[in-house]
């Protein structure tokens, strides 16, 4: 019996990085996984991999910035799997690394639309299904930069701070419905998102990675599976008394 046996889990931005690791682990632990992403090829390949391992999964194209698309896809997922127990609001982008006075409105909105509005749309359209089912778990990917800041990527840090307090507000709003809402705060995790930051850095990817390693007291950056285990805990009933919490998984970065 898996730790999330029989639960239906939606993962946004599930094709790569942390979302991908979460989809694989949730499926391994018995969940039916709705892998959603804007990347069709990578999403479908992941579903094939999960099925090859004996799990249950299906891919849906989903851009979290479109409320119509979120509504339509969640209706389809409900039709396919019969319920929605877990929502992992994972889709996120870093955006441009510029100081505040150089950022354009368009650059600011791009990050906010994915990282904040996307979480709002997906939560809004998952909650009624969870209320009908008598409970659920919403897991929001914030960041260490939802807890502390750094002198770079201002819209990203603002967006992750917003996600942290959206989680707490929704935790208070929906506790009466047995719907738990928690945020997860990763340190640097080596994923395509972070590798892309490395490619843009003047020192090059390897030097960038070494620099990131040095920021974590544990001596290295994290792997996607480190965060997937935190997501699994919140998706399972092991965390049935946990809501409005901040799960920090950061190798000691914020200690
Ligand atoms: P990633 O770039 O490796 O993967 C993100 C996924 O989201 C991709 O598959 C991408 O296609 C998808 N995505 C992007 N825009 C989308 C949209 N509009 N709609 C749907 N899907 C979309 O990123 P990651 O590093 O795995 O990060 C996952 C989450 O964890 C993000 O919210 C990120 O901010 C957060 N996080 C990551 C780190 C880290 O160090 N990697 C640290 C803290 C927080």
d(CA 92, CA 33): 19
- Kindly provide the ipTM of the predicted complex, given to two decimals: 0.99
Burial 141-178 (b: 16+ CB within 10 A, else e): bbbbbbbeeeeebbbbbbbbbbbbebbbebbeebeebe
Average pLDDT, the chain: 98
Order of strands, edge to edge, in the sheet holding 136-141? 56-61, 32-37, 8-11, 86-89, 136-141, 179-186, 246-249
Report which ligand 1 atom has the smallest distance to the Cα of 144: 43
Per-residue model confidence as pLDDT tens digits over 142-187: 999 999 999 999 999 999 999 999 999 999 999 999 999 999 999 9
Per-residue model confidence as pLDDT tens digits over 178-228: 999 999 999 999 999 999 999 999 999 999 999 999 999 999 999 999 999
d(CA 233, CA 177): 20
Per-residue model confidence as pLDDT tens digits over 35-69: 999 999 999 999 999 999 999 999 999 999 999 99
Residue 134 alpha carbon to ligand 1 centre in Å? 29
Residue 217 alpha carbon to ligand 1 centre in Å? 24
Sequence ranges of the domains in the chain: 8-189+223-249
pLDDT for the residue numbered 179:
99
Per-residue model confidence as pLDDT tens digits over 9-41: 999 999 999 999 999 999 999 999 999 999 999
pLDDT for the residue numbered 151:
93
Question: Which of 129, 145, 156, 188 is flagged as catalytic?
Answer: 156
Ligand 1 pocket mutation pick from 13, 22, 47, 184 by most atoms within 8 angstroms of CB: 13
Q: What percent of the chain has pLDDT over 90?
A: 99
| 156 in active site | yes
Per-residue model confidence as pLDDT tens digits over 226-238: 999 999 999 999 9
Q: Does domain 8-189+223-249 have CATH number 3.40.50.720?
A: yes
């Amino acid at each position: 019996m898996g730790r999330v046996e029989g639960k239906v889990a939606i993962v946004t931005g599930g094709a790569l990085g942390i979302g991908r690791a979460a989809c694989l682990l949730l499926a391994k632990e018995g969940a039916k996984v709705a892998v959603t992403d804007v990347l069709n090829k990578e999403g479908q390949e992941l579903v094939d991999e999960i099925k090859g391992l004996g799990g249950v999964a299906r891919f849906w194209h989903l851009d979290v910035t479109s409320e119509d698309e979120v509504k339509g896809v969640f209706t389809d997922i409900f039709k396919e799997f019969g319920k929605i127990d877990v929502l992992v609001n994972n889709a996120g982008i870093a955006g441009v690394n510029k100081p505040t006075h150089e950022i354009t409105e368009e650059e600011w909105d791009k990050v906010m639309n994915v990282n904040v509005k996307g979480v709002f749309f997906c939560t809004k359209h998952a909650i009624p299904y969870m209320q009908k089912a008598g409970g659920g778990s919403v897991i929001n990917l914030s960041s260490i930069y939802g807890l502390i800041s750094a002198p770079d990527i201002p819209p990203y840090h603002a967006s992750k701070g917003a996600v942290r307090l959206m989680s707490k507000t929704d935790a208070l709003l929906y506790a009466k419905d047995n719907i738990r809402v928690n945020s997860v705060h990763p340190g640097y995790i080596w994923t395509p998102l972070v590798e892309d930051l490395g490619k843009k850095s003047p020192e090059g990817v390897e030097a960038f990675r070494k620099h990131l390693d040095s920021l974590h007291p544990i001596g290295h950056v994290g792997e996607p599976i480190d965060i997937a285990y935190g997501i699994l805990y919140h998706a399972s009933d092991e965390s049935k008394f946990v809501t409005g919490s901040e799960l920090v998984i950061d190798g000691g970065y914020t200690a």
